[in-house]
Structure 1
Amino acid sequence: MIKISIITATYNSEKYVERTIRSVIEQTYSEIEFIIIDGYSKDRTVDIVNNYKENVDIFVSEPDEGIYDAFNKGIVHATGDIIYFLNSDDYLVSSTIIEDVMNSFDDDISLVYGNVQMIYEDKQAPRLYGREFTLDDFSKGYAPPHQAVFARKWLFDTYGLFNKNHRVVGDFERSAYFFKYELERTKYINKVIAAFHVGGISSNYTTRVIGMLEKEKVIKDLFQVERTLAEVEIRNNALYRHWLEKLLLEKKGITNCLHNACKRVAIFGSLQTADYLIQDLFLEGFEVPFIIDNFHESSIYKFDIPIIKEIELQQRLQQIDCIIVSLESSTGSEITSSLKEKFGHQVKVLWWKQLVEESIH
């Protein structure tokens, strides 16, 4: 039986760390080495961990240089063949998930990854995120979250530990290296591995921009591709500000301009901007018959709106007059163009950014 080392980095993590610990020690898989690396917490984190000292194989509490330094310490201590990182506010979704993942490894597989559940502090419904990723995805800045990734330890021995100089994207960089050089030995499993809280360092606006700049450099170094991720992030923020001003000052939504052309609007994508668009459409009196999302596991979105996949869209076009693409990145432009080519002769297709820009003029 293959041993797996689960590494959890903590720092002032008293709010959630016990749930994290329990999700690990309740696993049915027997060959688990549980390592907790604490950054010298000042709250009750150490006391909580000590309550489970019989279940924690290695516990270190000392000052560190951030989460990637803590991850590196965990790797150095690890004796398992497989390495997995579970943050201190995340948890494994079921008691059998490690067993399921470990059964997916064989001698030809170096890395296994799956899906995650995104948990929000503001009580909005959790979202599932995950799919099979390609090198082209990585070159555009997309990757599975580290909470979904299981890697053989020799990958770190071969390609190196985390770069401690990165504030935000050290996990993206390691995954990008592993995928680039071991793509044929990676395996995607369509299972939810862990739930993680949205709202960490990479969710703060300032650090998001820093992260985008870091990611641009990683992409350029690894794939020799120039990306403008930070510029897009800053531009998105400006568009959201204009959107908010229109709502607050004019009491109108950005979809107000669609009244002459549409009554029933579908939204492509199901992340945060989709929620904004739904509320905007409701404010303006539009119907939202369904959401289009190729990777959402549920058949019902919030507000009891059905979710369909793009492959079903042709059969449902009679229910809508318009499609708004809600994706924030440049992929949104590509998808808008693709949808226009396929369905533009039957329905109006717009990117949400076009609506904001039209509302400005």
Structure 2
Amino acid sequence: MPKITIVTVTFNAQRYIERTINSVQEQDYKNIEYIIIDGASTDDTIKKIKNKNVKLNLISEKDNGIYDAMNKGIINATGDWIFFLNAGDIFYSKNTISTLVKELNQKIDILYGDIVLVDEAMQNKQYLMASGIENASIQPPFWHQGMLIKISLHINRLYDLRYKSCSDYDFMMYCVTNNFICKYINLPFAYYLEGGESTTNIYKNRLEGIAIASKYIDIDLLPTNFFFSDFIENHAEKCNLNINILRNKFGKNIRNLEVLLKEIKNKYNKIAIYGCGTITNLIAPYLGNQLIIIADKNHQTINTKLPLCAPKKLKEYEFDTIIISQIGQEQQISTYLVNELGVELNKITSLDSVVLDLNSIARNTISKIKKGEDFEVGICTQKQLESEVYKKWISYFKQNPSRLHRKYWEFAFISEALSKRHLLQKGYKGLGFAVGEEPLASTFCSFNVEVLATDLNYEEAQKQGWTDTNEHAKELDQINIRNICDKEKFKNLCSFKSLDMNNIPDDLINFDFIWSACALEHLGSITKGENFIYDSLKCLKPGGIAVHTTEYNFSSNTDTIETGATVLFRKKDIERIVQKLQEMGHEVEKINYEGGDMPIDKYIDLPPYLEDNHIKLLLDKYVITSIGLIIRKKL
């Protein structure tokens, strides 16, 4: 039974510390070492810790920031694994640690998962998935509160104290780029209290993140990085600058900023800077004693130990060059320095004057990265059918990417939901219901997922007419009919079982995910489809994911087809299902019921239905389309 060290870092946290201690105390895993590193709090934090009368190691002394305190926790830890649960954060459940320990083995260096962002009152909750190592170049791969780290790794790689708000990101990128074994588990680890260093100093945090990202990722990928794109967008808005010009200026060679500053240091002995903002705070340490003065119009209100003066006082200082640190405003500031302050033009240096050009990067990189192209949970729309996500998956299915069809949207919706949750990889097991000849089972096997594909027994399917429409699978070969997955791999990974969705066997358990595409509506009634959703959750592990798509009555929330071979779920039916699932303790992704406003969204297909441009159609007297649900089983 491995020893788990839990470290809580505090400073003046009297409002939050008790609930964090209670959360640790309530864990049902017993081999826990608890360390609290306090930064010499001046409120009642220490008093409240001592009043709890809990076995823990308390260290209270001044530190040099949160990462210095965390390093103290690492150095004092005697466990095999370490988890940081800072003041205000609490574990997701009483069995979080015991659940995580079951996933550990000697090969793993980091076990990571998801978190839930909460406010102080625990009223507003937002589920945040880990981005994962495959997306490390775009955004931090793990949540700081969603990592269980092998202590032998962390003691040899402490947090870099040069970084004040993103040193954990630096540690993550070091681990990913050095191929440490990182395993994802599809569970939330903790409730993370909104706030803290990184959220209260967003501007500086983003700039620091850029500096870190530039150490680890290719220069061509940097403009797609979250820290870069968010910084540029915020800086452009703050300074009323053109975002594309600013992106090109700042992104030209940030990766080599340290090298460029060394070149400036070698060329000039005495250096001044114009502007005391986040960029100056980043570059000043590199300049060291060669930095003579910083000129800023707001010098009287800036709290810093750096040498400051009013711009008009610059003439009192002798310098060889003055660096303009305010990216995007070089022209205006140069004019001001020359015309108003009498600075010689050849003494002015801007950080974009010695860097490479990256105009080849796509024009809308930032807006795309910011907004993303994820499928919204809800109704099929033309916008989603024209997205890169849809094109990616329909290509996997060996279909024409220009084919805009709601059924292929359903397949893409399910695939993307599972892919985003890192479930399409070796070591995970999926269960598909009523698979027919759909491409999902074979696609998932191509990602090395172990799949059990099920469908109605052949005799019953004949009676219901499914065998006449090529929408039923009798045997395994039919499921890989498109040869999406290598035949030998498919044979090893996929198995087949006849199954009635209205009567799921109790021995189908411990799957990481389950899915059904366009099946709920064919179980005989809305009630039977609804009951299937509830009953099928028994097949999942705690925290497992269920993804279902079905027919949605877009035209009426009152009248519908409630019984028969094909039923139509109304908005109120979906809302009732969601409410009941939540009452049972499960989580349901928020659903967008908007039907889109693009041309094909407004087109109603009539029988005989089209092979393409098929989003909404008329069935009986109702306009219908497809809708998707994503459910996470309670722990």
Per the shorter chain, which TM-score range? Answer: 0.5 to 0.7
Q: What is the Cα deviation at residue 51 of structure 1? A: 1.7
CA drift at 1:18: 0.3
- 8 Å CA contact 2:68–2:159 kept in 1: the answer is yes
How does 1:180-219 map onto structure 2 within 5 Å?
180-183=177-180, 185-204=181-200, 207-219=201-213
- Distance in 1, Cα, partners of 2:376 & 2:65: 33
Query: Residues 142-221 of structure 1 correspond to what in structure 2 (within 5 A)?
Result: 142-158=140-156, 160-183=157-180, 185-204=181-200, 207-221=201-215
Residue aligned with 1:139, SS: coil
SS at match of 2:30: coil
Question: Could you tell me how far apart the structure 2 residues matched to 1:64 and 1:74 are?
Answer: 12
Instruction: List per-residue Cα deviations over 1:138-177 (Å, max 9, x = no partner).
Output: 222333221100110111233x200112111011111111
Residue identity opposite 1:49 in structure 2? I
1:321 aligned to 556, 579, 597, which one?
597
1:141, 1:219 within 8 Å by CA — same for their partners in 2? Answer: no
Query: Using a 3 Å threshold, how does the CA distance of structure 1 residues 97 and 14 change in structure 2: closer, same or farther?
Result: same
Aligned to 1:233: 234
1:103–1:236 distance in 2 versus 1, CA, 3 Å:
farther
Cα distance in 1, alignment partners of residues 25 and 38 from structure 2: 18
Identify if the C-alpha distance between structure 1 residues 26 and 122 changes in structure 2 by more than 3 Å, giving closer, same or farther: closer
Question: 2:172 corresponds to which letter in structure 1?
Answer: S
Shift of 1:235: 3.8
Q: What does residue 112 of structure 1 align with?
A: 111
Matches within 5 A, 1:35-184: 35-56=35-56, 58-121=57-120, 125-131=124-130, 133-135=132-134, 137-158=135-156, 160-183=157-180
How many angstroms does 1:124 deviate by? Answer: 6.1
What is the distance in 1 between the residues matched to 2:596 and 2:86?
Answer: 42
- Residue segments in structure 1 that go unaligned for 5+ positions in a row: 240-265, 271-291, 310-315, 324-342, 348-361
- For 1:269 and 1:79, how far apart are their aligned partners in 2? 45
C-alpha distance in 2, partners of 1:216/1:344? 42
Is the 1:25–1:55 Cα contact (8 Å) retained in structure 2? no
Q: 1:209 to 1:20 in 2, by over 3 A?
A: same
Query: Cα deviation per residue 1:176-228 (whole Å; 9 max; x = unaligned)?
Result: 11122235x21111111100111222112xx2111111111111112233343
Distance, in Å, in 2 between the alignment partners of 1:98 and 1:322 is 48
Preserved contact between residue 113 and residue 143 of structure 2 (Cα < 8 Å): no
Measured in 1, the distance between the counterparts of 2:239 and 2:591 equals 31
CA distance, structure 2, for counterparts of residue 221 and residue 162 of structure 1: 15
SS of the equivalent of 1:109 reads coil
Could you tell me whether the CA contact under 8 Å between 2:38 and 2:58 is conserved in 1? yes
RMSD of Structure 2 on Structure 1 (CA)? 3.5
Kindly tell me: are residues 168 and 345 of structure 1, through their superposed partners in 2, closer, same or farther at Cα, counting changes over 3 Å?
Answer: farther
Contact 2:131–2:140 (Cα < 8 Å) also in 1 = no
Amino acid paired to 1:144: F
TM-score by length of 1: 0.65
Q: 1:202 corresponds to which letter in structure 2?
A: S
Distance in 2 (CA, whole Å) between partners of 1:190 and 1:140 is 20
Cα 1:73–1:47, aligned 2, differ >3 Å: closer, same or farther? same
- Structure 1 pair 65/218, CA: closer, same or farther in 2 (3 Å)? same
1:3-42 map, 5 Å: 3-42=3-42
State the distance in 2 between where 1:32 and 1:79 align: 10
Can you give the 5+ residue segments of structure 2 that lack an aligned partner in the other structure?
Answer: 241-372, 378-412, 422-544, 547-573, 583-587, 600-611, 617-635
Q: From 590, 594, 600, give the equivalent of 1:307.
A: 590
- Give the Cα–Cα distance (whole angstroms) in 2 for the partners of residues 93 and 29 of structure 1: 14
Task: For 2:374 and 2:107, locate their aligned partners in 1 and report how far apart those are by CA, in whole Å.
Answer: 41
For 1:222, which of 212, 216, 222 is the aligned residue?
216
Aligned length: 267
Distance in 2 (CA, whole Å) between partners of 1:120 and 1:269 is 24
Letter of the 1:25 counterpart: Q
Contact 1:5/1:34 (8 A) holds in 2: yes
Which amino acid in 2 is paired with 1:154?
S
CA distance in 2, matches of 1:127, 1:103: 26
Between the aligned partners of 1:148 and 1:238, the Cα distance in structure 2 is 35
Q: Give the SS at the match of 2:155.
A: helix
Mapped to 1, the partners of 2:589 and 2:101 lie a distance apart of: 34
Q: Percent identity?
A: 29
Q: Is contact 1:34–1:55 with CA below 8 Å preserved after alignment?
A: yes
Structure 1 residues 344, 36: closer, same or farther in 2, change over 3 A? Answer: farther
TM-score, normalised with respect to structure 2: 0.38
> SS at 1:98's partner residue?
helix
Residue type of the partner of 1:199? G
Q: Which has the higher helix share?
A: 1
Q: Which structure is richer in relative contact order (CA contacts within 8 A, separation 6 or more)?
A: 1
Q: Please report how far the alpha carbon of residue 346 of structure 1 lies from its aligned counterpart in structure 2 after TM superposition.
A: 7.2
Q: Tell me: CA distance 1:173–1:344, structure 2 relative to 1, closer, same or farther (3 Å).
A: farther
The 2-side partners of 1:346 and 1:234 are apart by 40
SS at 1:9's partner residue?
strand
Local SS of the residue matching 2:36: strand
Query: Measured at CA, do residues 177 and 28 of structure 1 come closer, stay the same or move farther in structure 2, by a change above 3 Å?
Result: same
Answer with 1 or 2: which has the greater Rg: 2
Q: Aligned AA for 1:231?
A: I
Rate the CA distance shift 1:269–1:90 in 2: closer, same or farther, 3 A: farther
Give, in whole Å, the separation in 2 of the partners of 1:49 and 1:166.
29
Q: Following the alignment from structure 1 to structure 2, what is the Cα–Cα distance between the partners of residues 109 and 306?
A: 30
Match for 1:19: what amino acid?
R
